[in-house]
Structure 1
Amino acid sequence: MDKLGALNMFVATAEHGSFSRAAEQLGKTPSALTKAVSHLEAELGSRLFERSTRRTVLTEAGKLYLETARQVLQRLHEVSEEIGQLQHGLHGNLRITAPLAYGRAFLDEVCAGFLAHYPQIKLRVDLNDSFVDLVESGYDLALREGRSDMPGLIARVVGQNRIALCVSPAYLARQPLPLGPETINEHDWLMYQHPALDRGIWWVERDGQRIGLPHPRVPRLESDNYDLLLAAALAGGGVLHTPLWSAAPYLADGRLVQVMADYQIDPDAFGPHILAVYPSYRRATGKVVAFIDYLQAFLRDNRIA
């Protein structure tokens, strides 16, 4: 029996939880899938599924085998694609996940430029602030802030995650009181809510001295949507604690002004870097490397991060 075909049928059955549903998806008969899985079980000397009239469930051996089978099929697909790219240039599909705020800040321009540069590549970009498991989700690449020490992942630094305090000229006209450690609670603050963020203290450094500052007691506006807070800052609503990669274009055209610029502000739980992350078992294919290189060059050349 075709071993690769049997592996594909096994993986489809595991993912659908049913021989009949997997057969329908593959365009084969349920008996063909049953025969393929039985052949694998006989070869391994172990059952891969517990079968009943109501459900088909992986055994412990089946769960172990599924992980490797997926990797084998994925790697063969990647190798086939890479061989094709040696002859015809970079092509195929590239799936990326990234935080929502990256889209407006720089990823929209990056994707447009990348597609123009590589006309045979098709992108799917999902913007989501929730944590995405790359191994389970099937994404080729994730863009993240901070650090990545999770097993099974490779992370490459593509930019810096430097923090600034920014306000609009309209806010400065309305509230001319200088912002400093002693006047934090005299200003209107626009605060981003995130489970990873410490809501007690944020840290700054000046002239070699590290200082812990309390968060504002009563922010003027709080939200878990960063774009909403950025819009409020541009409209003069208050002080925004923001990554420079987001504020850079508005600082350049004068719509935002940096305050407390002589202080170096810690990046908090999000960490000091913008990272491109991909599963270690998927060797970085040509299209993944090309996108990472393009993104890194864009951030560097535009002095965004």
Structure 2
Amino acid sequence: MDRLEAMRTFIAVVNEGGFTRAAERLGHSPQLVSKYVSQLEQRLGTRLLNRTTRRVSLTEAGAGYYQRAQQVLAEIEEMESQLGELQHSPRGQLRISAPVSFASRHLPRLLSDFRKAYPQVLVDLHLNDRRVDIVEEGFDIALRIGQLKDSSLIARKIAPIQLVLVASPGYLAEHGTPANLEELARHQFLKYSYSDDHLLLGKRSAALVQAHGITCNNGDVLVEAAVEGAGIALQPTFIAGPAIADGRLVPLLADQLPEPLGLYAVYAHRQLLASKVRCFIDFIDGYFGSPPYWDQGLELGST
């Protein structure tokens, strides 16, 4: 038995004063209306209606049930109406996970512009470089950088992420400039904890796994360490770009670098996507430009 349908049928019988008129209103047969009410009474274990050949009337139990049933159905209709509004009018809290360095540098303006466009959406941003479980941890969207593996999640590529090998002029003056990837093994390497540099740079750089002088889970720290002459870092241009542009870092081996990674917006469902999620994904897609603004005018050299 469909409890909600039986409840609606019972209320219609009371409102219309009989089974026949209730059947006409609901588009059912009188027999089906009677069946629904009888099943409801059997489930509840009490008679809700007194029936005669001329009219129906509420029992004491039926009167109490009628009042509560109206309240329940009204609350359900209100809930469905609110959910419908959420699908068509973006509102509510949007929980986003994003990488620390990228978010701190490139999300403040985007989020400000997004909130101006959609003031009813409240953004709850969490910064973390680990790969969060979107479903288990309750995120609507995760921004991720890398080469995404196959999964049940949906991903939209937002921008290319170019990696660059960099060192300070002072470091290169003291230790020399590597001519190829094999020579990186003779240098102090500043390793980002969450990346596999061996896979990114290929077999020729296998010695890097032993050669790193500093390991850190934050790219900003590694770039600043490179500026201070601590070694060579492999970092994205969205972090290292300003230091390259003002001469504090020198790009190395540009023609031997890996293919760009991607910035992706990752979410759990394609169907029945909440409008707040859909609007944010559409908003961020193309926001950074093509190429992204942090790469425009950036000279990475050829050696």
TM score, norm. by length of structure 1: 0.60
CA contact (8 A) 2:158 2:264 kept: yes
1:252 aligns with 2:245: yes
Larger radius of gyration: 2
Match of 2:275 in 1: 286
1:97 to partner: Cα distance: 0.7
Unaligned runs of at least 5 residues, structure 2? 5-39, 44-78, 296-303
TM-aligned CA deviation for residue 278 of structure 1: 1.0
Cα 1:203–1:77 shift into 2, 3 Å: farther
Retained in 2: the 8 A contact 1:202–1:213? Answer: no
CA distance in 2, matches of 1:97, 1:227: 18
Whole-Å separation in 1 of the counterparts to 2:167 and 2:239: 13
- Cα distance change on mapping 1:249 and 1:114 into 2, 3 Å: farther
Gaps of 5+ in 1: 4-38, 43-73, 205-210
Provide, for residues 228-267 of structure 1, a one-character-per-residue CA deviation record: whole Å limited to 9, x for no partner: 2122123332211112333233333433321111223256
2:235 corresponds, among 227, 238, 242, to 242
CA distance in 2, matches of 1:161, 1:80: 36
| Distance (Å, rounded) in 2 between the aligned partners of 1:134 and 1:76 | 27
Deviation at 1:174, TM superposition (A): 3.8
**CA offsets 1:212-233 (integer angstroms, 9 cap, x no match):** 3223333221123333212212
CA contact (8 A) 1:78 1:285 kept: no
Matches within 5 A, 1:1-305: 78-83=83-88, 85=89, 90-145=90-145, 146-151=147-152, 153-194=153-194, 197=196, 200=198, 202-203=200-201, 212-216=204-208, 217-266=210-259, 272-280=261-269, 283-300=272-289, 302-304=292-294
Aligned amino acid, residue 295 of structure 1:
I
Residues 219 and 235, structure 2, Cα contact 8 Å, conserved in 1: no
TM-score after normalising by structure 2: 0.61
% same residue: 31
CA distance in 2, matches of 1:178, 1:131: 33
Q: Determine the C-alpha separation between the residues in 2 that align with 1:264 and 1:177.
A: 16
Say if 2:182 and 2:205, in contact at 8 Å, map to a contact too: no
Q: Contact 1:179 / 1:187 at 8 angstroms: preserved in 2?
A: no
> How far did 1:155 drift?
0.9
Write the letter of the residue equivalent to 1:297.
G
